[in-house]
Amino acid sequence: MSDKSSNQMWGGRFAAGPDAIMEAINASIGFDKRLAAQDIAGSRAHAAMLAATGIISDSDAETIREGLLTVLSEIESGNFAFSTALEDIHMNVEARLKEVVGEPAGRLHTARSRNDQVATDFKLWVRDQFDAFESGLLALIRALVDQAEAGAEWVMPGFTHLQTAQPVTWGHHMMAYVEMFARDLSRARDARARMNESPLGAAALAGTGFAIDRHMTAEALGFARPAANSLDAVSDRDFALEFLSTASICAMHLSRFAEELVIWSSAQFRFVALSDRFSTGSSIMPQKKNPDAAELIRAKIGRIFGANVALMTVMKGLPLAYSKDMQEDKEQVFDAADNLMLALAAMEGMVKDMTANVANLEAAAAAGFSTATDLADWLVRETGLPFREAHHVTGALVAMAEKKGCDLPDLTLAEMQTVSGAITEGIHDVLGVHNSVASRLSYGGTAPVRVREQVARWKEILA
């Protein structure tokens, strides 16, 4: 077969033949250029350590330091020409450094490998994302606490199976999400602490014969310690997987809340009004106000879940230590991080701006026999009926109210006593929705006094 026909088989995009295909599949500069700042920070720390241990001269280290700052300035200003032929950010930076400073650039890579270099760069980048993740979560938690404080006494329906169950307070509902996102915060902090070990100095896989000081570079880069095993240091991507797994759980929480906001803002519910900043109109229906930000949060979660599965799949069959498969570790993490931060910021904005329709919330809370459990509990407390018998009496009263087309508080005492003579006028103390929520005084309950306690606790934590 001729070279020409072979090239046609590869397709027009790769008219130059197999070499072009290998360059395209091998190069990562298209995405790993996002690691430029981390790569240069790692190189600066490495050069300073090489000089401190006498492996290179102080003058070469200073020349390298200044050259790296020049390269970083070029990248940050957009005046850097990235080359696919140089494969990745590491080789692009090193090649430009050689153009800037000459011979000393060749000494920078002493006692390290691209394997420990990329692991260090990627860890630094993911660590920054954990910090941004924490900031986004704290901002969202603050917005939720503010909503809870404002609506500690507002009554709304609590749901199970999306059916009206028992009345709760708006503040209690907001604080439920505070607890969810607080667990996300705890997971993020925990994972960040666990990942904070430096791979730099592990070299290709076995360490190095040079008398380097790995504790020095670890400290310079803000790591708690150097990684203890060189094989593990270059082959570990648990830190990226933990970022994706914690991000996935948080994304699930965001999606649950987004779904509630979509439902609550509908014409059928009218529980909340979302601000115009996070809504759009319809091109054909002038009455529409669509909760697009909430819907997009709900959808973007799939990208984060997908990234988690993708990287788990990449890593699952790799023997120690480094394999080229691990070049596929970054794009998914970059995309997931971008979308997580965007979703967190959008949710914070919606929570800060949304307005509760207090009248509609209360009306909905009173519908659907939502105080039936309060009635059954009252029968147990005040008349001594076993709960199962009280449950039966309450069911009969619900059926009576349903037949009459009214709610439980609308039944007269005489009507109730036809079902159970033990019922007294005191029953009306628990049947109203405000009475119901006020009675839920157990720790973690929906009573306004308990909500305010939790708000105060969280305001102290956040302060």
Instruction: Give the active site residues.
Output: 161, 282
- Alpha-helical segments (H) within 405-447: 413-417, 428-431, 433-439
Name residue 310's amino acid: A
> Looking at the DSSP assignment, which residues form a beta bridge with residue 290?
280
End-to-end CA distance of the chain: 73
Report the Cα 445 to chain-centroid distance in Å.
Answer: 27
CA distance 353 to 276: 9
- Alpha-helical segments (H) within 316-386: 330-353, 358-366, 372-383
Contact (CB, 8 A) for 197 and 249: no
**Token digits of residue 373:** 């459990």
Q: What is the DSSP letter of 106?
A: G
Q: What are the b/e assignments for 401-410, b being 16+ CB within 10 Å?
A: beeeeebbbe
- Residue matched to tokens 């070990």: 197
Contact (CB, 8 A) for 343 and 299: no
CA dist 78 → 67, 72, 82, 360 (Å): 17, 10, 10, 53
SS3 state at 226: strand
**List of residues 6+ apart from 341 with CB closer than 8 A:** 129, 132, 133, 136
CA dist 402 → 330, 367, 395 (Å): 59, 11, 10
CA distance 309 to 304: 9
CA distance 420 to 413: 10
CA distance 223 to 244: 21
CA distance 116 to 336: 24
